[in-house]
């Protein structure tokens, strides 16, 4: 999942070297935290959050395909865009 999010975000930003994607586990849920350069924050969020929602939709689809294999049943995968 982290590789997928990293690939998607790096394709969107002007400074792909400053993209940092971390996986944080909270009980049975997985949280993918995305950090980008301040100038690229708007590109990742998009107008009215449409780009961020599209990234979340792709990750949810990928997570549902992996449930039972890599991910435990009933777990959630969330993407958070963190502003430093």
Query: pTM score, two decimals?
Result: 0.89
Q: Are 23 and 80 in contact (CB under 8 A)?
A: no
pLDDT tens digits, one per residue of 21-79: 999 987 888 999 999 999 999 999 999 999 999 999 999 999 888 877 777 777 889 99
Relative to beta strand 29-35, strand 77-81 is: parallel
Measure the N-to-C terminal CA separation of the chain; round to a whole number of Å: 22
CA distances from 11 to 25, 46, 62, 70, 76 (A): 25, 14, 18, 25, 25
Domains of the chain in sequence order: 2-81 (3.30.300.20)
């Amino acid at each position: 999942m982290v590789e997928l999010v990293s690939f998607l975000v790096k394709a969107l930003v002007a400074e792909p070297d400053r993209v940092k994607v971390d996986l944080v586990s909270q009980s049975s849920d997985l949280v993918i935290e995305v950090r980008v350069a301040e100038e690229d924050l708007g590109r990742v969020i998009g107008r009215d959050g449409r780009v961020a929602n599209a990234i979340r939709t792709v990750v949810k689809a990928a997570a549902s395909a992996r449930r039972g294999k890599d991910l435990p049943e009933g777990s959630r995968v969330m993407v958070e865009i963190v502003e430093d």
